[in-house]
Amino acid sequence: MDVYFFSEQSHYPAWGKFDGMLRGDIPNKHGDPQVSSQLLNGYLDLYQLADQCGMNVMVNEHHIASTCMNNSITLTLAVLARITKNARLLGLGSIITNRPDPIRVAEEYSIVDSISGGRLDMGLVKGAGWELYASNANPSGGMDRFWEAHDLILAAMTRHEPFSWEGEHFEYRCVNLWPRPVQQDHPPVWFTGNSPGSAKLTAPKGYVNAAFLTGPAAKQTFDAYRETYEETFGHKAHPDRLAYLGMVACSRDKAQTERNIEAAFAYLASVARMRPAHVNPPGYSHYQAITSMMQTPPGAGPGGMGGGATNAEDLAKAGILFWGEPERVVDQIAAFNELVGGFGHFLNMGQNAHQPFEDARDSIEMFGEFCLPELAKLTPARETAAKESVNA
């Protein structure tokens, strides 16, 4: 199992200045530009440290939200391509459902892969419901736009002569990508998928399916992926086709652990501060995802984040927060890995909400020294897995 460090890069000081929703509604007057600058540079320092400690790194992208300031995934990845040395750079992902220019996405990702020397993992996602309002996108038919954008991006990366494109949603007189990505035919592709229905769409492509903070429900998603993958390719999917994101708070200090746990709960509380209509606009979600949300315990948050947990022990059992001494963290992740049938990538959400950077740094260093070698033993390595499966 390999590990990617991740932070949502929030502007958490603004959360206490506004009583309403933190995504979409919160006016940017509550965000101090100087504080934003300090925070963003602090997050970059954490990513650089994670690389030095042997981890890969992951960034995401959101818009009109104080919970995630990173509104340009490829811009941040380009910075990381220069300040990291060894880490795989996962962007999960570029919101191609809402973007009017997929070729620009292909160009930006190709630049990142070129600068990094071929370390990019290319995430393509449909985005969150609240972002539709910022992009003027229609939630109905969004997946049709998504798949056409996906096809166009891969065509731009894999065709080596100029071509035109006339689709239902996009038209280009001339597509001619410069530079080509270092990883040929294209960088490994990742999708997010938190439901069996989503996993069944990802598996026939052989892409990595990443589930975020879904707890034991990830087993149903992963099982659906494995079943569909085997039906498509005639052999079992390697665990590196599956990824899981969970929060991590690694420390031997009791006071520090308590601060880390408090920050994790603050993050989960921030998720719930969102208009219900923004969570699931009509036509946006797969029906199985809607069913899962309807079955979620009250107060658990959109998508079941937190699973209704009221204490740290419950969060650990739910596979949401892995916390404590490094040996305990390894045991928790290993137990969850076995519960859901195995996955090859762990996405370590290692800085949450108001968690102090010094605490996050301590957690990263301890995780890298003690947890990383043990987690590497959980899944058999396969150096060419990403390349083989993408082209399966």
CATH number at residue 84: 3.20.20.30
Give the domain range for residue 208: 2-390
Q: Which residue has the tokens 């880490």?
A: 87
Average confidence (pLDDT) over 165-183 = 98
Q: Report the predicted TM-score, pTM, of the whole model to 2 decimal places.
A: 0.91
Q: What is the pLDDT of residue 385?
A: 46
Q: How much of the chain exceeds pLDDT 70, in percent?
A: 87
Number of domains, the chain: 1
Q: What is the pLDDT of residue 112?
A: 99
Q: How confident is the model at residue 138 (pLDDT cuts 50, 70, 90)?
A: confident
Q: How confident is the model at residue 136 (pLDDT cuts 50, 70, 90)?
A: confident
User: CB–CB of 228/210 below 8 Å?
Assistant: no
Q: How confident is the model at residue 68 (pLDDT cuts 50, 70, 90)?
A: confident
Q: What is the pLDDT of residue 132?
A: 72
In one letter, which amino acid is 36? Answer: S
Rounded Cα distance, 363 and 269, in Å: 22
Q: What is the pLDDT of residue 294?
A: 66
Q: What is the pLDDT of residue 298?
A: 44
CB contact set of 136 (below 8 Å; sequence gap of 6+): none
Q: How confident is the model at residue 290 (pLDDT cuts 50, 70, 90)?
A: low
Rounded Cα distance, 28 and 14, in Å: 9
Average confidence (pLDDT) over 280-307 = 59
Q: What is the pLDDT of residue 302?
A: 40
pLDDT at 391 over 50: no
CB contact set of 333 (below 8 Å; sequence gap of 6+): 246, 322, 346, 371, 375, 378
pLDDT tens per residue, range 369-386:
999 999 999 976 554 444
